[in-house]
Amino acid sequence: MNFIHGQLRHRGGKLWFEASSFSLQLPDSLANRLGPAGPDVILSFRADSIRPVRRGFAENEFSSSALESHLDDERPGRFPAKVTGVEWLGDRSLARLSAQNLPLLLVQLGRDQRLTPGDICHFEVAPDSVHVFSAKPPHPRLGGDITAELVTSDVAQ
């Protein structure tokens, strides 16, 4: 699982998750169950909920200034990241991503999706696949149909 600390905010009549370098418009079906904006939360999503959407950075462009200019990608839910490692799991692979101001993230790739360490590209999180947890222990799931809590050791502080 991937975990990103952030806040819920209202923008343009929609509820958004916002972290320092990542934002995602939450689906109405989830937003309607979450209630007011403002609390610190943890956005959680599985490795198969991220997909690569664009390549095109040269290795020497992976710098703070170059990444900041690309953080304005017109579509929220996207972020630029560098692949720091790949583990092959038979017909699929699991890649580790390093993105500015975000924790280490994992993406699961199918057999036709090839990334290698050092690749830099944009990734996108599927909004319908996210879960929102309170940032306050015991980290209850917010707006879910099933009561759940995060195990604190799973969440990077």
| The model's pTM | 0.79
- In one-letter notation, the amino acid at residue 124 is E
Q: Is 65 left (phi over 0), alpha (psi -120 to 50) or beta?
A: alpha
Q: pLDDT tens string for the chain (157 positions)?
A: 999 999 999 889 899 999 988 999 999 989 888 876 667 999 999 999 998 886 554 443 444 444 444 444 446 788 889 999 999 998 999 999 999 889 999 999 988 888 889 998 889 999 999 999 989 888 888 886 655 566 655 555 4
With the CA atoms of 20, 24, 28 and 31 taken in that order, what torsion angle do they form, in degrees rounded to the nearest 10? -20
Residue spans of the domains in the chain: they are 2-154
